[in-house]
């Protein structure tokens, strides 16, 4: 994936964040991360907009995809990226368990929409371009698919995270180990019990 081309083509103005009606502010920070110019506050700014109090947003799976791409490129502060991916995993894990406790069952229509969404979200050569029909499909699918897509993206790249546990950089190795441990031993939640 050509990261900078993807950043420039991605329809940032069509995806809201926790605090804004669009995500255009994220574009510049992801580019700073790619160029190894981001500061710790930049990483915090991005994760604060991708996840808030276990809530995931429609921009969140794309943010995760971009985090993974940065890891694969060896760009940015990999230890912080891994910590942020762990935070997204924890939020997705919580929400998946909420879905199970409420007996959420996706409709056949939503499952078909998810297959269409995966065509770009899981494409290693994604160029950032989405047509109006794709965006409409992405925005109309049940919100539950935000956590489903995050869990699927993380599972698809688990070997990358496991490889990073062997990094000679102890901060990266430790962050990767914590993420891998979270994935293999997800926290269990109990709902509806006092």
List, for residues 134-161, the tens digit of each pLDDT value: 999 999 999 899 999 999 999 999 999 9
Asked if 116 contacts 134 with a C-beta cutoff of 8 angstroms, the reply is: yes
0.85 exceeded by pTM: yes
The band of 53, judged by pLDDT with boundaries at 50, 70 and 90, is confident
Residue 52, strand partner residues: 55
Asked if 138 contacts 58 with a C-beta cutoff of 8 angstroms, the reply is: yes
How far apart are alpha carbons 120 and 134 in whole angstroms?
A: 9
> What is residue 189's predicted lDDT score, i.e. its pLDDT?
87
Q: Give every CB contact of residue 93 below 8 A, 6+ residues apart in sequence.
A: 147, 151, 182, 186, 187
The band of 194, judged by pLDDT with boundaries at 50, 70 and 90, is very low
How far apart are alpha carbons 32 and 27 in whole angstroms?
A: 9
Does residue 70 register a pLDDT over 60? yes
The band of 193, judged by pLDDT with boundaries at 50, 70 and 90, is low
């Amino acid at each position: 994936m050509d990261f900078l081309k993807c950043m420039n083509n991605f329809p940032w103005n069509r995806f809201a964040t926790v605090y804004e009606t669009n995500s255009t502010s994220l574009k510049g920070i992801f580019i700073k991360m790619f160029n190894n110019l981001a500061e710790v506050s930049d990483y915090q700014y991005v994760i604060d907009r991708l996840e808030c109090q276990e809530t995931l947003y429609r921009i969140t799976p794309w943010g995760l995809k971009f985090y993974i791409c940065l890891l694969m490129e060896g760009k940015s502060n990999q230890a912080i990226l891994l910590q942020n991916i762990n935070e997204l995993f924890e939020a997705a894990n919580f929400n998946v368990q909420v879905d199970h406790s409420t007996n959420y069952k996706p409709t056949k229509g939503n499952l078909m929409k998810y297959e269409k969404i995966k065509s770009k979200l899981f494409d290693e050569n994604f160029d950032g371009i989405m047509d109006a029909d794709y965006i409409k499909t992405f925005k109309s699918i049940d919100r539950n698919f935000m956590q489903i897509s995050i869990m699927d993206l993380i599972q698809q790249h688990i070997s990358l995270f496991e490889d990073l546990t062997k990094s000679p950089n102890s901060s990266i190795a430790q962050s990767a180990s914590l993420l891998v441990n979270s994935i293999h031993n997800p926290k269990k939640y109990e709902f509806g019990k006092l």
